[in-house]
A = this chain, B = another copy of it.
């Protein structure tokens, strides 16, 4: 199979067709029509074998996750997903792998009406880079820089299950079969909070997605906003599986392991009622975990009011 046949078979025939795509795959560049009055939100993320996933990982899960991590970034801006591009390097043109990968990729793309409009394949170590674009009404993007003292700090869903599943997979913490089954989808097939992010426009003052761990990601909001925060350990939302492991793994996995792809956001008191009207419609739920304060720095307190210092501080690919 030649490179061109490979591309044609698996990618040119991608199943989603949007009316705002003038030229899709098959020319030197895609030609796209952004809607009037909207700004463009643009992000990119890469998954590299060995760094972000283990050799032998399920290709369908990789297809899902490679797109999901980008959707999660768009969600954190309050943007509606539209188009994406794919760079794929593979050690060989493996048909079964490509078939699985495309199944996972397109199932998620269909869910958000996202069209693949370009990309590239090359021979090399297995790596998947996706670049995703979405729309947000001009001036309404959710930034990291808008948190103000008095705002509540919230997260969607539950934190730590992806980290637990990863510890199990790396042989660092044992889960029973049923426990693993309950958390592994959070690692392999994260659900980006796209509808939640869009609904938070005009309600939240800042937002970020939790990809590097709550401590690190909330830290980015605090730094960008020039504020601090107090959060309460016991209010961190964790699953019943996670709670049962607390004695062994403590709170660090939920606070600093990352890969949760939940949203962390801040809401001022005046918008609290609006948020509380929205949240019951969301399957993932929300939790108020603390509040923004003027004094810089993040303070985490346990149930007894004692300061809690996490051991880990989020993901860092180049840490020495």
The residues of A with any CB-CB pair to B shorter than 8 Å are: 1-4, 6, 22-23, 26-34, 36, 39-46, 48-52, 73-74, 76-77, 79, 83, 85, 87, 89, 92-93, 117-125, 127, 129, 131, 133-134, 136, 138, 141, 143-145, 207-209, 224, 316-320
Contact = CB atoms under 8 A, between A and B. Distances in A.
A208 B28 CA distance: 7
B34 A34 contact: yes
Nearest to A133: B42
A131 to B, nearest CB: 4
Contacts of A40: 30-34, 40
A77 to B, nearest CB: 5
A282 B300 CA distance: 63
Copies of this polypeptide in the complex: 2
A17 to B, nearest CB: 17
B34 A143 contact: no
Nearest to A7: B318
Contacts of A224: 26-27
Given A127-B124, A317-B3, A118 B42 contact: yes
- Residue in A1, A48, A320 with the greatest tally of chain B CB atoms within 10 Å: A48
15 contacts: A2-B316, A3-B318, A27-B77, A27-B144, A28-B77, A28-B207, A29-B43, A31-B77, A32-B40, A33-B40, A43-B85, A51-B123, A51-B124, A120-B129, A123-B317
A317 B121 contact: yes
A89 B49 CA distance: 11
Contacts of A93: 318
Contacts of A77: 27-29, 31
A122 B46 contact: yes
A39 B29 contact: no
Contact of A44 (B52, B119, B144, B316): B119
Contacts of A92: 318
Nearest to A207: B28
A117 B42 contact: yes
Contact of A74 (B29, B43, B83): B29
Given A125-B124, A125-B125, A46 B89 contact: yes
A40 B40 CA distance: 11
Given A31-B40, A77-B27, A48 B122 contact: yes
